[in-house]
């Protein structure tokens, strides 16, 4: 496989947008292309990540639509759908094009514009990723799967609501340092957990998960420019190498998982990514995890190998995952504060990490970051893509 | 009180003895303190100024709520509505939201509107609950008639309290079929939905004496989404 | 509308695949016979979910994953005012969703 480099990264502000789906995608794409400064190197391929356009925006064939908006014909193009892991899957497809020699420069853009429908429609749409005959018909929604997972996980490992609150507080704080984050609001332990008013401030969503354990619904787009070694050599700027990608699947219905507290697909995907990268979790300086629900930040960090089983919440208590800690997790604010335009998320995680490795993360900069890890969690953990990025000295 | 002419007096509805809403303080998710208190007629102009920019924000029915609220606030100020009250939520004195309604008679309340300016902190939920608290606990009423302009927002309250159908009664807001919150249901929901501390600490109360206008650009941006989005 | 919830029992190795699938997850055989998903078991985990789709007008729905005594696991609605992890329950059938056109029958769990 030929080496792959990230040379451009851009995104729109996540939140509520008046822009159309394709305009969001175009804005992020142009930001990444400007960042890459490809000169006369043509873009060979465009890969769009998106989950809901056909249903929620009544639009299909997004790859072709984006090529047209950016006047990139006759480049190759398609859209990739892998639920909430669409972003990292599209990234994987883009990397494969370069690794195989089929393309030299690829634009990967993830986009979602969900807020055109109301919350009920949005919830139902996301619930469509559940198993139709044995989950969906029962009123299962993604939060309900997270709630059931959380209860069992917390019971087994002694995780308490205060640990979940610490994650929400940390990610909200990081979000205020990220001008692209949806939520620009800090929260306190008193306000979301300990004060009597917390019952109204932070109502249950899927017990034991509450409002501030769940990410918001957001519109937005994020984009990366990937190139071959030959093209990268011609460009100025730091070199971010795609060191490893791993993907793994698990049973569709959550009740069929071997151990319902074990995120097996995260574990296997991470092992594959680290193996390809010739790295271990200990080498990682900064990570972006998929905290659609705060409990997932805990569970994924263990399954990926950063902490022992049952050890993550203790590390959180010690402050290890804060921006100034030993292993900053979700410097961008995570899905919780940065937001979660479903198709864009996997790409946005890598945009943040690319900025981190290039020293361009502003107030959120993790000093000396050289190796980064991202986990994009599809379905409810039945399709996971993990990525390891490494800064290369020129 | 100034002497008013007989004609003016005939244009004013008779007024019931309405108790003053005792102010309370609420800790929000951000850790900030919101003071909920009743307003006086001379504070109406500043409320009008705050909601004026929302008259043209179509999103989430803000335009019609702002427009109707504008009229209701003016009517309250100029004594043209019977037994209306207005409660506001203030964070560091800055207007975060407002609710209003009126007392139809001793037994029945008529909820008018809830307008949230500072979003993301459940201000609307807190203020709506405060409104119900006022009708039932402080005015001693049996039930409150409720409707809403926004179906999705309303559905949440409808299910959460829960509200009952009283469709044979036309609500004053456009004659639409009313829902009702009966006294018993209010008390059942109270532990879950009504919160706040009394009395309000003196310094906090003093900080809430004067209503401060939120910045217009903040108000519109928060409720309508970013107009000029950053790239 | 079916009045029973079925899984697919592999004719080769006997593994019950629930949900049904085209290929047995244990031995990759492709023929099955239907088997009723029912009986007694224990609550593996549960949740009260408030963020519901439009078909539901209740304030919340109590869902659970139950492990039946025969080893099969199933998701369903838990009809129990006092839920606990590990509590013994048994299956029953009831309307679990109604999209307006036709009510859907599915698994419910009640305390034994």
- Chain mean position to CA C9: 16
- Identify the pLDDT of residue B225: 62
Residues of chain B with pLDDT > 70, as a percent, come to: 96
Q: Collect all residues of chain C within an 8 Å Cβ-Cβ radius of residue B159.
A: 57-59
Contact status, residue A42 vs residue A12, Cβ threshold 8 Å: no
Distance to chain A for B5, nearest Cα, Å: 48
Q: Are C55 and C97 in contact (CB under 8 A)?
A: yes
Instruction: Determine the pLDDT at residue A42.
Output: 97
Residue B162 contacts C where some CB pair is shorter than 8 Å: yes
The CATH class of the C38-111 domain is: mainly beta
* Subunits adjacent to chain C (3 or more Cβ pairs under 8 Å): A, B
pLDDT of residue A187: 98
Pick the CATH number of B20-224 from 3.30.1150.10, 3.40.50.970, 3.40.630.30, 2.40.30.10: 3.40.630.30
ipTM of the complex: 0.96
Sequence ranges of the domains in chain B: 20-224
Q: Establish if A195 belongs to a structural domain.
A: no
Domain range for A56 is 4-118+217-234
Q: What percent of chain B lies above the pLDDT cut of 90?
A: 71
Structure confidence at residue C1 (pLDDT) = 46
Residue A42: inside a domain: yes
Using a CB-CB distance cutoff of 8 angstroms, which residues of chain C are in contact with residue B162?
A: 59
In a domain, A78, yes or no: yes
Q: Would you say A25 and A69 are in contact if contact means Cβ atoms under 8 Å apart?
A: yes
Q: Taking each helix axis from N to C terminus, what angle separates A62-69 and A21-36, rounded to the nearest 10 degrees? A: 60
* pLDDT value at residue B231: 32
Number of domains chain A contains: 1
Residue B218 at interface with chain A, using a CB cutoff of 8 Å: no
Summarised one tens digit per residue, pLDDT across range B113-149 is 999 999 999 999 999 999 999 999 999 999 999 988 8
Q: For chain A (length 394 residues), average pLDDT per consecutive 10? A: 96 95 98 96 98 95 98 97 98 98 98 90 92 96 97 98 98 98 97 96 97 96 98 92 98 96 97 98 98 98 98 98 98 98 98 98 97 98 98 84
Task: Answer yes or no: is A25 within a domain.
Answer: yes
- Predicted local distance difference test score (pLDDT) of residue B14: 81
Provide the whole-model pTM. Answer: 0.94
Collect the ranges in chain C with pLDDT lower than 70: 1-2
pLDDT band at B228 (very low <50, low <70, confident <90, very high): very low
Which tens digit of pLDDT belongs to each residue from B46-66?
Answer: 999 999 999 988 888 889 999
Determine the distance in angstroms separating the CA of B159 from the nearest CA of chain C, rounded to an integer. 5
In a domain, A10, yes or no: yes
Residue appearing with tokens 């569709």: A252
Please give, rounded to a whole number of angstroms, the shortest distance from the CA of B120 to a CA of chain A. 8
- Give me the residue spans of the domains in chain C: 6-35, 38-111
- What does the pLDDT read at residue B3? 74
Residue A29 belongs to a domain: yes
Q: What pLDDT, on a 0 to 100 scale, did the predictor assign at position B148? A: 86
Does pLDDT of B1 surpass 80? no
CB contact C77 to A (< 8 Å): yes
pLDDT at residue B71, as a whole number: 96
Judge whether residue B221 has pLDDT over 80: no
């Amino acid at each position: 496989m030929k080496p792959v480099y990230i040379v451009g990264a851009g995104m729109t502000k996540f939140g509520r947008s008046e822009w159309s789906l394709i305009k969001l995608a175009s804005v992020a794409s142009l930001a990444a292309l400007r960042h890459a400064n490809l000169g006369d190197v043509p873009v060979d391929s465009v890969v769009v990540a998106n989950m809901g356009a056909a249903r929620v925006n009544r639009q299909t064939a997004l790859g072709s639509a984006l090529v047209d908006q950016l006047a990139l014909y006759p480049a190759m193009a398609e859209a990739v759908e892998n639920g909430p892991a669409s972003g990292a899957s599209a990234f994987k497809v883009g990397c494969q094009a370069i690794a195989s020699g089929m393309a030299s420069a690829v634009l990967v853009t993830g986009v979602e514009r969900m807020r055109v429908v109301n919350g009920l429609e949005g919830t139902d749409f996301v619930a469509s990723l559940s198993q139709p005959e044995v989950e969906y018909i029962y009123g299962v929604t993604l939060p309900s799967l997270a709630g059931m997972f959380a209860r069992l996980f917390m019971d087994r490992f002694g995780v308490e609501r205060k640990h979940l609150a610490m994650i929400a507080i940390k990610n909200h704080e990081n979000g205020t340092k990220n001008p692209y984050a949806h939520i620009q609001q800090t929260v306190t332990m008193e306000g979301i957990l300990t004060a009597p008013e917390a019952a109204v401030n932070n109502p249950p969503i899927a017990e034991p998960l509450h409002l501030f354990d769940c990410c918001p619904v957001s519109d937005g787009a994020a984009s990366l420019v990937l190139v071959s070694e030959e093209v990268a050599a011609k460009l100025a700027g730091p070199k971010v190498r795609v060191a490893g990608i791993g993907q793994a699947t698990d049973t569709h219905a959550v009740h069929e998982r071997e151990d319902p507290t074990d995120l097996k697909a995260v574990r296997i995907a991470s092992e594959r990514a680290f193996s390809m990268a010739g790295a271990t979790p200990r080498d990682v300086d900064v990570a972006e995890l998929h905290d659609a629900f705060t409990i997932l930040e805990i569970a994924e960090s263990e399954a990926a190998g950063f902490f022992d089983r049952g050890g993550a919440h203790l590390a959180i208590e010690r402050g290890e995952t804060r921006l100034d800690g030993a292993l900053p997790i979700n410097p961008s604010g995570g899905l919780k504060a940065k937001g979660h335009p479903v198709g864009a998320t996997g790409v946005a995680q890598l945009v943040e990490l690319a900025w981190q490795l290039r020293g361009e993360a502003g107030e959120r900069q993790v000093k000396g970051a050289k190796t980064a890890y991202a986990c994009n969690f599809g379905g409810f953990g039945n399709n996971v893509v993990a990525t390891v990025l490494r800064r290369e000295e020129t | 009180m100034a002497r008013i002419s007989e004609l003016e007096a005939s244009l004013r509805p008779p007024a019931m003895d309405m108790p003053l809403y005792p102010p309370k303080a609420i800790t929000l998710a951000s850790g900030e303190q919101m003071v909920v208190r009743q307003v006086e007629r001379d504070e109406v102009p500043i409320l009008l100024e705050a909601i004026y920019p929302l008259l043209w924000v179509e999103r989430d029915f803000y335009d019609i709520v702002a427009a109707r609220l504008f009229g209701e606030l003016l009517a309250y100020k100029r004594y043209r509505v019977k037994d209306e009250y207005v409660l506001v939520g203030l964070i560091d004195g800055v207007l975060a939201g407002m609710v209003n309604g009126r007392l139809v008679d001793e037994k029945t309340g008529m909820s008018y509107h809830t307008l949230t300016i500072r979003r993301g902190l459940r201000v609307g939920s807190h203020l709506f609950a405060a409104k119900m608290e006022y009708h039932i606990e402080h005015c001693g009423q049996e039930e409150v008639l409720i409707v809403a302009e926004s179906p999705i927002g309303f559905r949440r309250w409808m299910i959460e309290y829960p509200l009952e159908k009283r469709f044979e009664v036309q609500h004053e807001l456009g004659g639409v079929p009313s829902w009702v919150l009966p006294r018993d249901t209010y008390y059942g929901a109270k532990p879950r939905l009504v919160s706040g501390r009394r009395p309000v600490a003196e310094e906090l109360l003093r900080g809430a004496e004067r209503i401060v206008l939120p910045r217009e650009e903040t108000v519109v941006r928060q409720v309508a989404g970013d107009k000029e989005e950053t790239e | 509308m079916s009045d029973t919830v079925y899984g697919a029992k592999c004719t080769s190795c006997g593994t019950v695949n629930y949900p049904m699938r085209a290929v047995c997850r244990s031995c990759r055989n492709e023929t099955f016979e239907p088997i009723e998903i029912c009986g007694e078991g224990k609550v593996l985990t549960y949740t009260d979910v408030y963020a519901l789709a439009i078909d539901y007008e209740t304030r919340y729905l109590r869902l659970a994953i139950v492990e039946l005594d025969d080893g099969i696991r199933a998701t369903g609605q838990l009809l129990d005012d006092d839920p606990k992890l590990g509590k013994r329950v048994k299956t029953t059938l009831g309307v679990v969703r109604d999209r307006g056109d036709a009510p859907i029958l599915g698994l419910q769990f009640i305390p034994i």
